[in-house]
Amino acid sequence: MSPRRRIITTALVVQGLWLVGMTVGDRWHLFVEGWFMSVTMAVGSFIAGATAEGGGAVAFPVMTLLFKIPPPVARDFALMIQSVGMGSASLLILRSGIPIVRPAILWGGLGGVVGVVLGIAVVAPRLPPPFTKMGFLAVWLALALMERQPGRARRDTLVVGPREALTIGLTGVVGGVVSGVSGSGLDIVVFSLLVLRYGVSETVATPTSVVLMASNAMVGFLWKSTLGGGMAPAAWGFWWVCVPIVVVGAPLGAWFIRDRSPRFVARLLQTSILLQFVGGIAIIPQTPTLLAFTTVVWIVASSLFWWMGRSPRVAG
């Protein structure tokens, strides 16, 4: 079956189930108040499939900055919607034979399980909304400003030994914590490790990160909806109006990016991140304490990304 037919088949199945849920539950009125999220995720889901930046990385700043939605609601929505959108993209990636680094999915995913639970249960409740928003943007800015060294070899495979497995697993914990706070993070952190530390090509690291974030979103969704006290009710309303959008947008993004150059992938990711940061500075009222917090987060994140690229280890 061709990738296009896979996208269509998956979308039809999910949208059929969605139609039943909307009709039986009489939920069509949700579009009246939540239509703006349908529009947002039309773009966000495509970016999620095409880059290492998950749909939650688009939804979170748009919801919290432009529409003043509380970060916990935006986080819950991001985890919920990525379970569908990036889950659909992951099915396309796995069934189409798109190259991925499978050991990174295993070890990064296991670390991400620990991290996302810590982020939801321990870290997120202790961060005031403005700090959550700017901390999220600062981590992403650090990545956008990090350039891969010119001329470094790009690899399509990676042999993972005990040291690499430990490094990827610990990095997964860090990324999972970010996911637990903002709804997205494991994908971009492990993507950075693969590209900067191990020299993996962006065109391989990107679908790897999509599969990772899909699994992490599902774990976060499951934890928060059960042992974590339940998902925010408002997040469910947004979820219902976005499901039919993301199930098409994310797989299309994954299909679109598969034959693009590593430079194209990197520039697309950087442009998206820089636009978000500029918007955050303009919209969020800045205080000396908040600026200091943002600077510290940016320095820590930049140091982490610098370490990843300082002395690359190429294996396999």
Sorting pLDDT into bands at 50, 70 and 90, what band is 134? confident
Predicted confidence band at 4 (pLDDT cuts at 50, 70, 90)?
low
The DSSP code sequence of 80-114 is: HHHHHHHHHHHHHHHHHT----HHHHHHHHHHHHH
Domain locations in the chain as residue ranges: 3-310
Q: What is the pLDDT of residue 53?
A: 63
Taking the model in full, what pTM does it have? 0.80
How far is it, in rounded angstroms, from Cα 31 to Cα 42?
Answer: 14
Average confidence (pLDDT) over 31-35: 88
Percent of the chain surpassing pLDDT 70: 87
Query: How many other CB atoms are found less than 10 A from the CB of residue 59?
Result: 31
Burial class of residue 260 in the structure, from the number of CB atoms within 10 Å of its CB (0-12 exposed, 13-18 middle, 19+ buried)? middle
Is the pLDDT confidence value at 316 over 60? no
pLDDT in tens, 74-91: 899 989 988 887 787 788
Confidence at 177, pLDDT banded by 50, 70, 90: very high
Tell which residue, 264, 220, 286, 181, has the closest CA to residue 86: 220
pLDDT tier for residue 267 given thresholds of 50, 70 and 90: confident
Rounded-to-integer distance, Cα 221 and Cα 81, Å: 9
- Beta carbons of 83 and 213 less than 8 angstroms apart: no
Nearest to 69 by CA among 112, 29, 40: 40
DSSP classification of residue 183 = S
**Which position has the higher pLDDT, 277 or 56?**
277
Angle at 213 between CA 210 and CA 217, to 5 degrees: 140
Closest CA to 75 of 124, 121, 109: 124
Q: How far is Cα 222 from Cα 135, in angstroms, rounded to an integer? A: 25
Phi, psi at 301, each rounded to 5°: -65, -40
Residue 269 in this model has a pLDDT that exceeds 90? no
